[in-house]
Amino acid sequence: MSTVSRLPGIVTTDRVFQVPLDHAAPQGEQIEVYAREVVAAGRERDDLPWLLFLQGGPGGKAARPLTRDTWLKRALDDYRVLLLDQRGTGRSTPATRQTLARRGGPREQADYLAHFRADSIVRDSELIRTRLLGADRPWSVLGQSFGGFCTLTYLSVAPEGLTEAFITGGLAGLADSADDVYRAAYPRVVRKNEDHYARFPQDVEAARRIAAHLADSPATLPDGGVLTVEAFQALGMLLGGGNGSGALHYLLEEAWVEGAAGPELSDTFLASAQAQLSFAGGPLYAVLHESIYGQRSVDQGGTGWSAGRLRKEFPQFDARAALESGAPVLFTGEMIYPWMFDSDPALRPLKETAELLAARTDWPDLYDRERLAANRVPVVAAVYHDDMYVDTAASLETARAVRGLRTWITNEWEHDGLRVSGGTVLDRLIAMARGEA
């Protein structure tokens, strides 16, 4: 029996589906995938078109709406929305250090997690569509960030299931390897650092002081994690959001407190840093992150800790060298490094599993470039000109490769524009799809 809940302006219904772990073996092991149906209050009985929302990530559960706000404010004017907890996340059969331990050793865990990429998420979505709507009724899809990557896979695998596709900050490079992705990403992160320090020049010294302290004495976080100077630099993940620079500044300004033995890092700072750095709420983000770029036809499919390897090509990110030379300490961005599986308690038990996934070379291709070149599904995409996470040049190359795809290129919003624009981004894309903009 589905659970129905009423919240301000919305009515939600819980949906749970049994799907094959491996869609190539539909009679084999089954897992659960959870989705939350959301409709505007008063429209529960209306025959509305469906809009599937594919969350960013990988490894991120769908948002938990409390009211009709953010992009839902616009979406619910026209659609019945399905918020999918992609396999392994949220209320779907979870994949964490706790649950994966029951599957055996690292090899068994890695083989299991090999089924948690975009191709499996899309096949889950298609199975859910046929059960909810029937095989002959397609739906619309909205893909944010990694959800946009999944949308491109959807257009490659099962375009017959879609009436239209909206993508925000998620046009992946169809033929880009992990090395291509990070070689383009590091310079963008440098620019985000430059913008941050131009906005908050006092943070140059603030970051250097913290980094110098951590270089000598790594700190212990409240959950037992270790805040090294490299972990401190990883707070730069914040710089990709519209308000991220300000959030990082406020975090730094509360770094110190006068203790019994002199200045020490404050509990407030350490708790805030932990909230940003811990993967306890979404370990798949770290474990599977580079695998979203793995494809057989691209550098034989392997990723091999690309972000860590390529960091050596950008010595300006060496914090210890920066401390010696007097240069600003640069923060990193959306990069996953092997040391994270030592410093984060939520990841430590998954270290060998992550190593096996990083060494894997038989990842199947995620995009069918010939099928995308012949695409007939209306596709519109918001491309954020200053996006720290997704390369604009690669996005535009993909846009040219997908038949009929129309782009809106804007620097009014950052990567989180869908969430923070109050429905403006989605409204623009809907208007474009309808020929009204």
The catalytic site residues sit at 145, 362, 415
For strand 139-144 and strand 80-84, is the pairing parallel, antiparallel, or unpaired?
A: unpaired
Which residue in the block uniquely carries the two structure tokens 């291509």? 180
Q: Which of 433, 437, 436 is nearest to 377 (CA)?
A: 433
| CA 41 – CA 249 distance, rounded (Å) | 40
Q: Are 283 and 349 in contact (CB under 8 A)?
A: no
C-alpha distances in Å from residue 130, one per residue of 124, 135, 138, 221: 10, 5, 9, 46
| CA 221 – CA 209 distance, rounded (Å) | 18
| CA 425 – CA 70 distance, rounded (Å) | 10
DSSP codes, 257-304: EEETTEEEE-HHHHHHHHHHH--TT-HHHHHHTGGGG-BTTBGGG--S
Which residue in the block uniquely carries the two structure tokens 């900050």? 169
Q: For residue 298, which phi and psi values (nearest 5 degrees)?
A: -120, 105
